[in-house]
Amino acid sequence: RLRALNRLQVILQHLKMFKQTDSTAEVLLEKKGGAGIITLNRPKALNALNLSMIQQIYPQIKTWEQDPETFLIIIKGTGGKAFCAGGDIRAITEAGKVGDKLSQEFFRGEYRLNNAVGTCKKPYVALIDGITMGGGVGVSIHGHFRVATEKTLFAMPETAIGLFPDVGGGYFLPRLSGKIGYYLALTGCRLKGRDVLKAGIATHFVESEKLPALEKDLIALKSPSKEKIADLLNSYHMQCTVDQGKEFVLDEHMEKINSIFSANSMEEIVKKLKQDGSPFAVKQLETINKMSPTSLKLTLRQLREGASMSLQDVLRMEYRLSQACMKGHDFYEGVRAVLIDKDQSPKWKPAALEEVSDEFVDNCFKPLGNDDLKL
């Protein structure tokens, strides 16, 4: 009798999980052993986050956090190309154009999810294999552990589409060593493989093909503590020899990055790059000249202020900025030029840094009263 009853319970448990492990679902939420596993499952869209995925992941993290039988949370992507290439920008663009609520709900939901990751009481392990940008950074960077591989490609490319490095970028970017975070935010520079670890974005580095074994070992840990999880990740990390002797890609430029990107204004950064005149500086100048001047100014201030704020205050500030961008011109123009028409020649308004007034920037940071983000 007892065995029959147990079997029935197992079957019922399977049926309950079946709803969420349906392979066509955009996000799979399952429990294996003591691990809650989140699988981003939109491989054709490079696992970009949409509102419905966010609305499924958030309550599940909160449930697992309270569950005494769940000891850790793992998040990963399917398809082999991307962990998560960002948020579903096209949907937000369409909504924003017609004044649809989605442009508020999406950012509100996304930032609440970023905060849930950042405050999660259970060890949170993100397997950032493949493209990890924007929204994908938001669901990984604030957790305890981020495992990069040789296939990881990290970037915060928002200034190129008239946005700013959100999802808590104002919190983690200024906390990277020196002025790396400012440089990454303003130029959208891409980091690959072991460089993601060296910049301080990942905590561990493991071969891509070893991830299934690592996941299995994580799931097999008996009532694991954060220390036990760290030990396991460290042992995989130590065994990984891929690009081990390679120098950090930004090493030779760090002195320049630290001095140039510590300037107080965008105009000053541009001036310093011009004065420097080295091939590196010229290249950064070319890149910065392609970005939205408004985005650049918002981003520099976002990072300077975020450097001394809590994650929660940063997310509140970023929500205000997101809504300012939804009301502006550059976001829609940037998405058009980069993602829709792909002509890569956005017409920014204003077109020059000097034309973006301090007063305009101040207004973007103003509280929204009852519409402020509640965490």
Q: Please identify every residue annotated as catalytic.
A: 87, 135, 158, 166
One-letter amino acid for residue 166 of the chain: D
Closest CA to 67 of 31, 39, 117: 31
The contacts of residue 129 (CB under 8 Å, 6+ apart) are: 76, 77, 80, 83, 147, 148, 149, 151, 152, 208, 211
Map the chain to HEC letters. Answer: CHHHHHHHHHHHHHHHHHHHHCCCCCEEEEEECCEEEEEECCHHHCCCECHHHHHHHHHHHHHHHHCCCCCEEEEEECCCCEEECCECHHHHHHHHHCCCCHHHHHHHHHHHHHHHHHCCCCCEEEEECCEEECHHHHCCCCCCEEEECCCCEEECCHHHHCCCCCCCHHHHHHHCCCCHHHHHHHHCCCEECHHHHHCCCCCEECCHHHHHHHHHHHHHCCCCCHHHHHHHHHHHHHHCCCCCCCCCCCHHHHHHHHHHCCCCCHHHHHHHHHHHCCHHHHHHHHHHHHCCHHHHHHHHHHHHHHCCCCHHHHHHHHHHHHHHHHHCCHHHHHHHHHHHCCCCCCCCCCCCHHHCCHHHHHHHCCCCHHHCCCC
